[in-house]
């Protein structure tokens, strides 16, 4: 039996002006290309738990392509997509089902909206797939497929037991980086986060298993650039240090996402510097303290707000660039927030920046609150969950203010001159550091 695993990936933006601006901005364009060229770790993981009696293949369809789909010959497919492209996933699902292929849908969006997804599928999987997928395939063989499969709970899947993702299914020449996961979940509870609380907690993969996965990636690509597909890698600092020490022996370059507390631990930063870590992505969210109030239950970020500059210097001073993420459209953001973000970025040594629009993904606390306040521009706007399109009424500015402010901010922060200036500054910091060390 032939099993197809179909990733619906790629980036999408509706705001035409922003798309035009984006296409002429090298910084933005490069990041978009990076994003468009990462394989789905979720599906490579499912491939690894697919019993050997099945023949399994991994394919990507960033858009609906009837001819491409008709050229496939699978008996059953598993499809995964994020919210922004859920419409493409459903179109593909409907097309394949009309041709007699059994269609299973899963992943984050399906976990959040199973009732919607089930209208386009023979079965849907809500939650992590490792345990369910082999069971589901067995049910299908016996003609006993159920409509909805759910995990018993977040502890159902033990990351010590998941096999290495099937990187061998990839044509690695198509990618500029490969994903490896070390942890699921996050200790923070940000109102807008569409991931960390969805599966229900925080758990780590034993370090030796992470190294096994990195080696599996290296088996396909000798010196891969590894992107850790974690919500927040360094929550548990003791485990993090063991992890980073072990990664250092693998001679790879890597990137991950974490929170600003990483900068509070000089030992961890020193280990990171020696481990091949090239960049840390950190959600600063806003330079304005008031805008950070209430975005998560314990005001963790707003309490650390005054340490942002020091944190950036501490990390970058070790030769690791920081990719600082900012959200515009938060409730306390007024039309002057754009200038504030711009001057914050320009007055720090930040090398990379990502500015996105507050986005109420389905299933999030933010979605529920904005819906209750009557501030959603439409009930369902999944294809606009791109992080660049406005889907709600901001509290202290108009929709146009938010759109135009973002556009100007992007023009300023991603211009060739501004990027060159940031890069040169980073090189200077690294040079000074080497001088001090010698």
- Gap between the Cα atoms of 131 and 49, Å rounded: 8
Rule CB under 6 A: is residue 386 a binding residue for ligand B12? yes
- Gap between the Cα atoms of 402 and 375, Å rounded: 14
Q: Which residues of 317-346 are buried (b: 16+ CB within 10 A; e: fewer)?
A: bbbbbbbbbbbbbbbbbeeebbebbbebbe
Rule CB under 6 A: is residue 360 a binding residue for ligand B12? no
Which of 274, 282, 170, 271 has its CA nearest to residue 217?
170
Cβ-proximal residues to 193 (8 Å cutoff; 6+ apart), any chain: 186, 231, 364
Rule CB under 6 A: is residue 271 a binding residue for ligand B12? no
Rule CB under 6 A: is residue 80 a binding residue for ligand B12? yes
Name the one range near ligand B12 by CB under 6 A: 33-41, 267-275, 293-301, 420-428.
33-41
Among 74, 82, 234, 414, binds ligand B12 (CB under 6 A): 82
Rule CB under 6 A: is residue 329 a binding residue for ligand B12? no
Helix, strand, or coil here: 102? Answer: strand
Task: Kindly state the number of chain residues that form the binding site for ligand B12, as judged by CB under 6 A.
Answer: 40
Residue 254: count of CB within 10 angstroms of its CB: 22
* Closest to ligand B12 by CB, 41 or 207: 41
Query: How many residues can be counted in the chain?
Result: 438
Rule CB under 6 A: is residue 345 a binding residue for ligand B12? no
Question: If you search the block for the tokens 């609906």, which residue do you land on?
Answer: 64
Residue 308 C-beta: closest distance to ligand B12, Å:
20
- Gap between the Cα atoms of 301 and 281, Å rounded: 15
**C-beta of residue 278 within 8 angstroms of C-beta of residue 321:** yes
Report the Cα 147 to chain-centroid distance in Å: 28
Among 45, 256, 261, 279, binds ligand B12 (CB under 6 A): 45
* Closest to ligand B12 by CB, 79 or 263: 79
Rule CB under 6 A: is residue 197 a binding residue for ligand B12? no
- Please list every residue from 113 through 172 that binds ligand B12, using CB under 6 A: 125, 128-130, 133
Q: Which residue is nearest to ligand B12 (CB)?
A: 106
Rule CB under 6 A: is residue 42 a binding residue for ligand B12? yes
Report residue 224 as tokens. Answer: 């891969």
Name the one range near ligand B12 by CB under 6 A: 9-17, 68-76, 293-301, 416-424.
9-17
Among 4, 22, 27, 106, binds ligand B12 (CB under 6 A): 106
Name the one range near ligand B12 by CB under 6 A: 22-30, 72-80, 204-212, 261-269.
72-80
Cβ-proximal residues to 214 (8 Å cutoff; 6+ apart), any chain: 180, 226, 247, 250, 252
Residue 117 C-beta: closest distance to ligand B12, Å:
10
* Closest to ligand B12 by CB, 180 or 272: 180
Name the one range near ligand B12 by CB under 6 A: 77-85, 137-145, 268-276, 412-420.
77-85
> Sign (positive/negative) of CA torsion 187, 350, 246, 436?
negative
H/E segment holding residue 355: strand 352-357
Among 289, 377, 387, 430, binds ligand B12 (CB under 6 A): 387
Rule CB under 6 A: is residue 352 a binding residue for ligand B12? no
- Gap between the Cα atoms of 421 and 308, Å rounded: 20
Which residues sit at the interface with ligand B12, rule CB under 6 A? 9-11, 35, 38, 40-43, 45-46, 78-80, 82-85, 104-109, 125, 128-130, 133, 179, 181, 193-195, 229, 231, 361, 385-387
């Amino acid at each position: 039996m032939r099993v197809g695993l179909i990733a619906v990936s790629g980036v999408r933006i509706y705001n035409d002006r922003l798309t035009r601006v984006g296409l002429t901005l090298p910084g933005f364009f490069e990041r978009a290309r990076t994003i468009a060229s990462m394989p789905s770790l979720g599906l490579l993981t499912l491939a690894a738990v697919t019993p050997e009696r099945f023949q399994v293949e991994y394919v990507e369809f960033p858009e609906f392509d009837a001819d491409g789909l008709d050229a496939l010959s699978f008996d059953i497919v598993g499809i995964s997509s994020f919210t922004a492209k859920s419409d493409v996933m459903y179109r593909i699902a409907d097309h394949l089902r009309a041709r007699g292929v059994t269609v299973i849908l899963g992943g984050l969006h399906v976990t959040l909206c199973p009732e919607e997804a089930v209208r386009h599928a023979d079965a849907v999987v809500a939650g992590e797939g490792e345990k369910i997928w082999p069971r589901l395939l067995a049910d299908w063989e016996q003609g006993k497929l159920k409509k909805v499969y759910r995990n018993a709970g977040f502890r159902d899947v033990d990351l010590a037991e998941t096999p290495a993702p099937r990187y061998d299914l990839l044509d690695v020449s198509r990618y500029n980086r490969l994903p490896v996961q070390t942890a699921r979940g996050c200790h923070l509870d940000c109102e807008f986060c569409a991931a960390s609380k969805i599966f229900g907690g925080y758990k780590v993969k034993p370090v030796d298993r992470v190294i096994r996965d990195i080696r599996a990636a290296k088996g396909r690509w000798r010196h891969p650039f590894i992107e850790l597909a974690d919500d927040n890698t360094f929550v548990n600092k003791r485990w993090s240090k063991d992890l980073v020490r072990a990664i250092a022996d693998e001679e790879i370059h890597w990137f991950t996402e974490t929170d600003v507390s990483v900068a509070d631990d000089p030992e961890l930063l020193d280990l990171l510097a020696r481990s091949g870590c090239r960049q840390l992505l950190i959600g600063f969210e806003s330079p304005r303290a008031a805008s950070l109030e209430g975005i998560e239950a314990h005001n963790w970020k707003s309490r650390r707000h005054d340490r942002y500059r020091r944190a950036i210097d501490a990390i970058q001073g070790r030769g690791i660039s920081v990719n600082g993420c900012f959200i515009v459209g938060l409730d306390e953001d007024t039309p002057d927030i754009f200038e504030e973000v711009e001057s914050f970025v320009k007055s720090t040594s930040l090398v990379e920046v990502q500015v996105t629009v507050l986005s109420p993904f389905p299933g999030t606390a933010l979605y529920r609150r904005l819906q209750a306040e009557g501030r959603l521009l439409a009930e369902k706007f999944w294809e606009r969950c791109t992080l660049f399109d406005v889907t709600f009424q901001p509290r202290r500015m108009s929709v146009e203010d938010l759109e135009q402010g973002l556009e100007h901010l992007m023009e300023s922060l991603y211009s060739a001159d501004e990027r060159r200036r940031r890069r040169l500054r980073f090189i200077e910091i690294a040079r000074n550091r080497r001088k001090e060390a010698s």
